């Protein structure tokens, strides 16, 4: 009899382990996918309770094509759409996505900036009755299991007007980027938009929590961002750069890469790897998959 019971017990244990392993793999609290959109930014966050967050949309229709790949068939909702700042490489792709998907809420700084796709995106949201919230430091937005803490901008920008600026440089509209610390399943990620070194210093000086295992590097790794102070404060295990292959801006800059290397961050680049995908590991960190 014992000869029968013991093998059966072992089979039960193996089955339980397999079920746990599969659940752990296919149902993390959050997936964070930095979409390869060329020289631009687009980040898709998916929670295990089927909530979708899109941060920026890249420069063209590529992000729309990626969403068709990553969102389940029949899922036409985006629970939260965030525009960090209205440069073309972040906002252009949001227009066709907003036309195709049902956006439940949008988050923006509200600043005034003369950019055709930015104006079209705002009009689309207004015409469809999508609530638009204005981001400001100190806010927390909860979407399913994900919490987005806004670390920047430090003031209401809805009455601020920016003249057309040089998007390849620091300052200007780049420094009006929404900076987010994402928390999900006990794991944190810093999402920097295109904010430069001066803004990094101001966020750190504010006393806001910034430590995170995963850093979405600011401004595509340009020399205007990813300061020593930021990487020392964040202490990232993983660093993700959204950058276009052979781009004319020489992104990422060697200095930014050096700062990341000094803290031992593993560097993942969309120009080398395509879409860069992470899941929460259930232990306060992230796993690349």
Asked whether residue 190 is domain-assigned, the answer is: yes
**With a threshold of 0.85, does the pTM exceed it?**
yes
Which residue segment(s) compose the domain that 281 sits in? 28-288
Q: What's the longest Cα–Cα distance across the chain?
A: 83
Does residue 8 register a pLDDT over 80? no
Q: What tens digit of pLDDT does each residue of 117-144 get?
A: 999 999 999 999 999 999 999 999 999 9
Q: Kindly state the helix (H) or strand (E) to which residue 107 belongs, with its residue range.
A: strand 106-108
Asked whether residue 144 is domain-assigned, the answer is: yes
Residue scoring higher pLDDT (169 or 163): 163
Q: What is the mean pLDDT of residues 216-245?
A: 97
Does residue 18 register a pLDDT over 50? no
- pLDDT for 22 equals 42
Does residue 21 register a pLDDT over 50? no
Domain CATH code at residue 111 = 3.60.15.10
Asked whether residue 16 is domain-assigned, the answer is: no
Asked whether residue 8 is domain-assigned, the answer is: no
Name the domain count of the chain.
1
Q: What tens digit of pLDDT does each residue of 72-99 get?
A: 888 999 999 999 999 999 999 999 999 9
Average per-residue pLDDT for the chain? 92
DSSP state letter for 109: -
**Of 281, 285, 265, 263, which is closest to residue 188 (Cα–Cα)?**
285
Question: 87-120: buried (b, 16+ CB within 10 Å) or exposed (e) per residue?
Answer: bbbbbbbbbbbbeebebebbbbbbbebebebbeb
Q: What does the alpha-carbon distance between residue 173 and residue 126 come to, in Å, rounded to a whole number? A: 23
Does residue 16 register a pLDDT over 90? no
Q: What does the alpha-carbon distance between residue 201 and residue 229 come to, in Å, rounded to a whole number? A: 7
Q: What is the mean pLDDT of residues 164-178?
A: 82
Asked whether residue 7 is domain-assigned, the answer is: no
Q: What tens digit of pLDDT does each residue of 23-75 get?
A: 444 479 999 999 999 999 999 999 999 999 999 999 999 999 999 999 988 89
Asked whether residue 19 is domain-assigned, the answer is: no
Q: What is the mean pLDDT of residues 157-163?
A: 92
154, burial (CB in 10 Å: exposed 0-12, middle 13-18, buried 19+): middle
- pLDDT for 145 equals 96
Asked whether residue 58 is domain-assigned, the answer is: yes
- pLDDT for 3 equals 53
Sequence-distant (≥ 6) Cβ neighbours of residue 14 within 8 angstroms: none
Q: What does the alpha-carbon distance between residue 165 and residue 202 come to, in Å, rounded to a whole number? A: 22
Q: What does the alpha-carbon distance between residue 77 and residue 143 come to, in Å, rounded to a whole number? A: 13
Neighbours of 206 (CB within 10 A): 13
Q: What is the mean pLDDT of residues 216-235?
A: 97
- pLDDT for 168 equals 64
Does residue 19 register a pLDDT over 60? no
Q: What does the alpha-carbon distance between residue 235 and residue 284 come to, in Å, rounded to a whole number? A: 14
Asked whether residue 2 is domain-assigned, the answer is: no
Residue scoring higher pLDDT (26 or 274): 274
Residue position matching structure tokens 């938009």: 193
- pLDDT for 9 equals 52
Sequence-distant (≥ 6) Cβ neighbours of residue 129 within 8 angstroms: none
């Amino acid at each position: 009899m014992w000869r029968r019971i013991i093998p059966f017990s072992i089979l039960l244990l193996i089955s339980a382990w397999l079920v746990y392993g599969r659940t752990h793999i296919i149902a993390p609290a959050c997936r964070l996918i930095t979409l390869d959109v060329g020289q631009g930014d687009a980040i898709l966050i998916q929670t295990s309770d089927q909530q979708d967050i899109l941060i920026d949309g890249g420069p063209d229709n590529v992000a729309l094509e990626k969403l068709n790949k990553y969102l389940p068939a029949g899922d036409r909702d985006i629970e939260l759409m965030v525009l960090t700042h209205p440069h073309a490489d972040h906002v252009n792709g949001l227009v066709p996505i907003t036309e195709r998907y049902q956006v439940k809420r949008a988050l923006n700084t509200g600043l005034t900036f003369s950019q055709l796709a930015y104006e079209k995106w705002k009009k689309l949201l207004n015409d469809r009755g999508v609530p638009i919230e204005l981001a400001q430091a100190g806010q927390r937005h909860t979407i399913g299991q994900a919490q987005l803490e806004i670390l920047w901008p430090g003031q209401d920008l809805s009455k601020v007007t920016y003249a057309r600026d040089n998007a390849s440089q620091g300052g200007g509209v780049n420094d009006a980027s929404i900076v987010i610390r994402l928390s999900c399943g006990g794991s944190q990620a810093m999402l920097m938009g295109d904010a430069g070194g001066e803004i990094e210093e101001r966020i750190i000086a504010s006393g806001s929590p910034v430590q995170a295992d995963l850093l979405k590097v600011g401004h595509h790794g340009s020399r205007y961002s990813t300061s020593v102070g930021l990487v020392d404060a964040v202490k990232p295990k993983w660093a993700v750069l959204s950058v276009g292959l052979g781009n004319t801006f020489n992104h990422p800059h060697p200095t930014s890469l050096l700062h990341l290397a000094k803290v031992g961050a593993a560097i993942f680049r969309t120009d080398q790897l395509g879409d860069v995908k992470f899941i929460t590991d259930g232990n306060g960190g992230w796993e690349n998959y």
